[in-house]
Amino acid sequence: MDLSGPGVVYALMIIPSLFVAVVIFRGIEKVSKHEPDGGVAIGFGIVFLVLIVLAYFFYIK
């Protein structure tokens, strides 16, 4: 199975990266408004970002 095609890169990198960006920015917005669950959103965003980077190194590279 060829994992270097543009469809795989789009499915494994770009769409999840956009999701991570939204989660992290929502967390930053909540932290700036002093809401208690902002740190949780930022934490989940960072965990998902690490998973995306690991997927890149294990499957695409």
19 in a structural domain: yes
CA angle 17, 21, 26 (to 5 degrees): 150
31 in a structural domain: yes
Owner of token pair 């060829």: 2
- Separation of first and last alpha carbons in the chain: 14
How far, in Å, CA of 18 to CA of 16, rounded? Answer: 5
Could you give the number of structural domains in the chain?
1
For residue 13, name the pLDDT band (cuts at 50, 70, 90).
confident
Range of the domain at 23: 6-60
pLDDT value at 6 more than 90:
no
pLDDT, tens digit, 9 for 90 and up, residues 15-43: 889 999 999 999 999 999 999 999 999 99
pLDDT value at 60 more than 70:
no
The pLDDT value given to residue 58: 81
Write down the pTM of the prediction: 0.79
